[in-house]
Amino acid sequence: MTLSKRASWFLIAVGVWTWAIWPNFLRNIWKDDRSWDDGPTGFFTVHLVLTVVSLAVGTAVGWLGIRAVRAGRSSVAEDVAPPKQLVGSDSSLT
């Protein structure tokens, strides 16, 4: 499957956005009074799992975007014609 350049960059942006937002969210949850009561509470555990899953999905989406951008660049390079062989050159030397 081939993604457009626009879609590829959107996926990368989603991955970056995920890593910009979720660690800050977890820091705020960590500081919340509901997170600790002689150890982590259910409130903290649920939000920790939510953060970990979101970071995993964001990483996967960003990785797919990066792969799509790279695939698009390599297909552009393949569209360029290879250099022509010089007449009379010995191809066994190369």
Question: What would the two tokens of residue 40 be?
Answer: 């982590």
Burial of 85 (0-12, 13-18, 19+ CB in 10 A): exposed
Element (H, E) at 20: helix 5-31
Tens of pLDDT along 42-90? Answer: 999 999 999 999 999 999 999 999 999 999 877 655 555 555 666 666 6
pTM summary value: 0.73
The predicted model gives 36-44 an average pLDDT of 96
Which has more pLDDT, 37 or 2?
A: 37
Three-state secondary structure call for residue 36: strand
**Residue 16 reports pLDDT greater than 80:** yes
Beta strands in the chain (DSSP E): none
pLDDT attached to residue 2: 85
